[in-house]
Amino acid sequence: MAKPKYWVVGAAWYGKEYQDEKWVKLGIWILGWREGSQYEKAQQIRPGDRIAIKRIMGKGKGKGSQGIKIMHLGIVKGAVPDSDFPTFTVDWVAKNLDREVAESHGTLASIHGPYEYDDEWVRTIFCL
């Protein structure tokens, strides 16, 4: 069995409409892009991969922000076929963490990864 990949993802549509609570209740995560590099990354997500929903910390959000907050951790169960946007079923194993990670490592877009667990930054995000 292949080692899981690790993904850091967003849940704010239009930069301010947080979807994470609804998605955690439904057991899903949705990427709000239908094309481009974000979409291409989402096509690499596989069952068993780990996923962390983040929020950007700091004043002004975006490029001036230094850190992120990890809100929820999950294990991807699979992709939902024929969805308008890339949609995945997720077993959300840790919810409402509000875990501060001082360095964002540039994770300001909707999806980042895949990462390996041997990176200290990734272990900080995904530790239970």
Contacts 24+ apart (CB under 8 A), 120-127: 122/6, 125/6, 125/8, 125/52, 125/54, 125/70, 125/99, 125/101, 126/6, 126/50, 126/52, 126/73
- Give me the residue spans of the domains in the chain: 6-126
Q: What is the pLDDT of residues 41-50, one digit of tens each?
A: 999 999 999 9
Q: What is the pLDDT of residues 69-114, one digit of tens each?
A: 999 999 999 999 988 899 999 999 999 999 999 888 888 888 999 9
What is the amino acid identity at position 39?
Y
pTM of the predicted model as reported, rounded to 2 decimal places = 0.90
6-126 sits in which CATH class? alpha beta
